Structures are given as C-alpha cells and as structure tokens.
Chains A and B, each alone.
Chain A
Amino acid sequence: MYSTYDIFDELYGLRNIVDRFFTEHPVSTGRYDFPQVNMGEHDDTVEITALVPGVSQDSINLQLVDSSIIIEGEKKIDYREHPYIRKERSFGKFQKSVKLPYGVDHGRIEASLRDGILRIRLYKSEYAKPRKIEIR
C-alpha cells in the first residue's frame, strides 16, 4: 500500500510542536535583562561573561563602583530605514550593575570582547583570597 498521505503525519506534526516547546529555547527570556550575565569563580579570580551580540568594543564602558561592576553600552540599530518583516531583536542603551561577591583589586581588571561575548576578569583582593587559619 503506497500513499503520499499518512494518517499519522498530522499526529507527528502535533508531537513536533510539543517537542519543540521543550527543546527549543529562545535565547533571551526577556527584553529587560540585556545583557545577560554569568559569573564564575576561580581561586583568585572572578570571571563575568555577558552576552552582547551586536555591541562593538568602543561602545562598551566598564566601571567598578564599590563592590559592583557596571556594564554600560549601546547596541546600535544595524539596519536602515527598510521595512521589516520580522523584528525580534532589541536595540538601545543599557546599563547593568553586577554585584560582586568579593572585594576585588580595583587596579587590575581585564576585559575582552569576542564573538559577541564580553569577558571580564577581576582579581580578588588579598583580603578576599582563601586563607588558612592557624590553630594554636
């Protein structure tokens, strides 16, 4: 029996919709949390990564204020006055403050931007480094 129509096709279609709901995630869950930030910790460094696709290096500003780092910048609109068919990305200025879990060395910050990911490395201050306490 050969037929181009399979009664289960539509059933599978429905299953695919359900499957995709669970397997495909939109990258950004909300428009208000740009950029999204992760923070990792190593023995003497704290590493912050932020997703900043479309933001060029010269439009990012980093500032260390007390125990927070402020990531400031602008994602510039990258198309001119053309009619759009779909618009999902958002643009504009952003300013995000990330609270640091440790005191850091204010004189030593390394930052790099690659493939739309901003990486900031901060060094823990001597005070915040793990220290063995002698028991007398």
Chain B
Amino acid sequence: MTSDIRKMDGKDKFVLVPSADIYENQNEYVIKADMPGVTRENLEVMIEKNELRIRGKVATENPADLKYAEYRLHNYFRSFTVGDSIDREKIQASLENGVLTLTLPKSEAVKPRRIEIKVA
C-alpha cells in the first residue's frame, strides 16, 4: 500500500478504510470487509500487478439535518498486496448485508518461469 492515494482517488478528499478480516484455508484466501452503505453497482474490485483494490461508492448522502451523529459516510477505499500464488482468473466477490467477501483461490502450482536468454 505504498501508492499515492490521491492519484488513484483524485475525486475523494476523504476515504474510509473498511475494517477487514483475512483468513486462509488449504484452497483459498478469504477477505471480508465491512462496507455498510455500498451497493453492488457501486462496488469496484480491481487487481493490477500485485495490488488488489477495493473501492466502494456510498450513495447515501450525509443529510444536513442531522441532530446527532456518530458516523459519517465517505467512499471506501482499501488496497491489499497480493502475491503470485493466487489464481487471478478465479477471484470471486460477493456482497451481503454490507459485507464484502472476496475469495482468492490459490493457484494450482506457482510455477517458476524460466527466462530465455537469447544470444545476439
């Protein structure tokens, strides 16, 4: 998470970082993140290089006539660094009751790649 947050999220002055759990079993990693107020259409999950990015737009406006407030909603953003041991084609995402579940299956074999050196 070293990238410049402003570059990626130019429009947002503030972003909320959702609390997340990550756990692992034999076949997969699972990320669960609390993102209340985010609908499916407003959720974006991206994987680029070694970065998995979660971005959620919150449709609910913070009403002006609040009497009392303990929270304030902003768009969500969080990124995770992922290794090469994940099968990127098979990542699954689901959203239920404001909780995002990302399933990242481990790849069958993390194959070492041989780099050919061409002789000029």
Taking Cβ atoms with an 8 Å cutoff, the residues of A that contact B are 12-13, 16, 19-20, 23-28, 33, 36-42, 46, 49, 51-56, 78-79, 82-89, 101, 113, 115-117
Contact = CB atoms under 8 A, between A and B. Distances in A.
Interface residues of B, number: 45
Given A54-B99, A78-B99, A79-B30, A26 B22 contact: no
A31 B98 CA distance: 18
Interface of B: 2-6, 12-25, 29-30, 32, 34-39, 60, 63, 65-71, 74, 76-77, 95, 97-99, 101
Given A56-B97, A86-B21, A116 B34 contact: yes
A84 B13 contact: no
Interface of A is mostly: mixed
A103 B56 CA distance: 37
A78 B32 contact: yes
A117 B61 CA distance: 13
Nearest to A17: B2
